[in-house]
Amino acid sequence: MSPTLPTIICIATFFKGNEFIRECKRQGAAVVLLTREKLATADWAHESLDDLIAIPGKVTEQSYAAAAVWVMKQRNVKRIVALEEYDVVTAAQLREFSSIPGLSTTAARRFQDKLVMRLKGRETRIRQPDFVPLLNHETVADFMRRTSPPWMLKPRLGASAMGIKRLHSPDEVWHTLSELDSRNTFEETAAFHLLEQYIQGDVYHVDSLLNEGKIVFASVERYLTAPFDLSQFGGISISHTLRRGSREEEQLLEFNRQLLDRFGIDRGVTHAEFLRAGDAEHDLYFLEVAARMGGAYTAETIEAATGINMWREWARTELSTPDHPYRLPDVRREYGGIALSLSRQEYPNTSAYRDPEIVYRIDKPWHVGLIVGSARYERVIELLGQYRRRFTEDFAAVAPPEEKPGQYF
């Protein structure tokens, strides 16, 4: 491939983003993937890659930077994109170093570090749970005096509910802080966590596609069980599209618009989570936001409802130009849903599930999952209720909560 072609560098510390890679190639770009050596043999879209650079040992920002500089010496790099949560800030640093457009390091931290996220929320008057950094013991004690237990202990870095704990008393908080500070790795100590007010309610996620500072597409879904509760107690993970045109959907779309406008992102995808503690608009709270695609087959569930594959559309926004501006394809306003669980069987057999609304079957060892799509909201809810009961009997397994992603690096 000619080195004069515009090149996009993709960074992925975990295996994801093949549809993004394929669409970049379809749009005429050269694609170079930087990843861990352990992932070099993963099922990447090799037919769409011009190069794959596998970094040995524990990957660092410096090792990614060295690999990116090597690519830039040979190719006309126009974009650097993080396909995964843990690489968002690394990609931003590389963009700034090489003067490539995109999310800055300062802005990227708002979408990764939960403390920076909360501070930006406070600064811009976004409704959110109260919180305190775990840095000064006096401010921690004051926080516990003015808020009621339980509290949520959260790692500042990390995706999903990994490492989150619910603490029920000041003694439990002080004991946990002492345990964290006794750890050998500095990045695992209390300073890399925050304590947050616990608010009971339903959890939602809004996944957005942005171009030139505007949200061009957004999908709102509700978790039937909060991700934290699933991580602690197990069960069937279920998420589904909200009823189209409902007041609930309108409020969440507007809250999401305000959030992204105040946090400052003009291109790419976001995955934001919100909590509803009651029926009024002031009962909505911001939980967290990431500059990445939602995990757990979110893209496939959204595509089942709308026909929009957000990985592909994200790639198209990254490669759009004034001469070839981005245009969103037609969007179906239907409904999608997913039922997903750990499985007792390594390769669970779902052939007995024959509903015509099934559009995707999860193919991952020790997991079972089905994604459905329908023009009828009630049919999606009915099917997901059936799968919750049947999965529990046929497949469901429970694993201990995961503490941190570093074990996989």
DSSP code of residue 153: E
Q: Which residues contact 182 (CB under 8 A, 6 or more apart)?
A: none
Tell me the sheet residues that pair with 341.
368
DSSP code of residue 371: E
pTM: 0.92
* Closest of 114, 202, 129 to residue 163, by C-alpha: 114
**Residues 271, 293 contacting (CB under 8 angstroms):** yes
Question: Distance between alpha carbon 367 and the CA centroid of its chain, in Å?
Answer: 19
Whole-number Å distance between alpha carbons of 84 and 13:
7
Reported as a single tens digit per residue, the pLDDT across 153-169 is 999 997 766 789 999 99
> How long a stretch of residues is the chain?
409
Whole-number Å distance between alpha carbons of 60 and 340:
32
Whole-number Å distance between alpha carbons of 268 and 168:
39
Reported as a single tens digit per residue, the pLDDT across 355-394 is 999 999 999 999 999 999 999 999 999 999 999 999 999 9
Counting Cα atoms < 13 Å in the Cβ hemisphere of 62 gives: 2
Q: Token pair 């390091």 is at which residue?
A: 105
Instruction: Flag whether pLDDT at 3 surpasses 50.
Output: no
pLDDT band (50, 70, 90) for residue 404: low
Whole-number Å distance between alpha carbons of 340 and 386:
13
Predicted pLDDT of residue 365: 94
Mind giving me the DSSP string for 195-214?
EEE---SEEEEEEEEEETTE
Q: Is residue 184 helix, strand or coil?
A: coil
Q: Is residue 193 helix, strand or coil?
A: strand
Mind giving me the DSSP string for 261-291?
HHHT--SEEEEEEEEE-SSSGGGEEEEEEES
For the beta sheet containing 51-55, the strands, ordered from the edge strand earlier in sequence to the opposite edge, are: 51-55, 30-36, 6-12, 76-82
Within 10 angstroms of residue 182's Cβ, the number of other Cβ atoms is 10
Instruction: Flag whether pLDDT at 2 surpasses 60.
Output: no
Predicted pLDDT of residue 53: 97
**Residues 340, 395 contacting (CB under 8 angstroms):** no
Give the percent of the chain with pLDDT over 90.
85
Give the chain's mean pLDDT. Answer: 93
Structural domains for the chain: 6-102 (3.40.50.20), 130-197 (3.30.1490.20), 202-394 (3.30.470.20)
* Closest of 148, 303, 166 to residue 227, by C-alpha: 166
Q: Parallel, antiparallel, or unpaired for β 30-36 and 6-12?
A: parallel
**What average pLDDT does the segment 322-349 reach?**
95
Predicted pLDDT of residue 278: 81
Instruction: Flag whether pLDDT at 408 surpasses 50.
Output: no
**Residues 29, 324 contacting (CB under 8 angstroms):** no
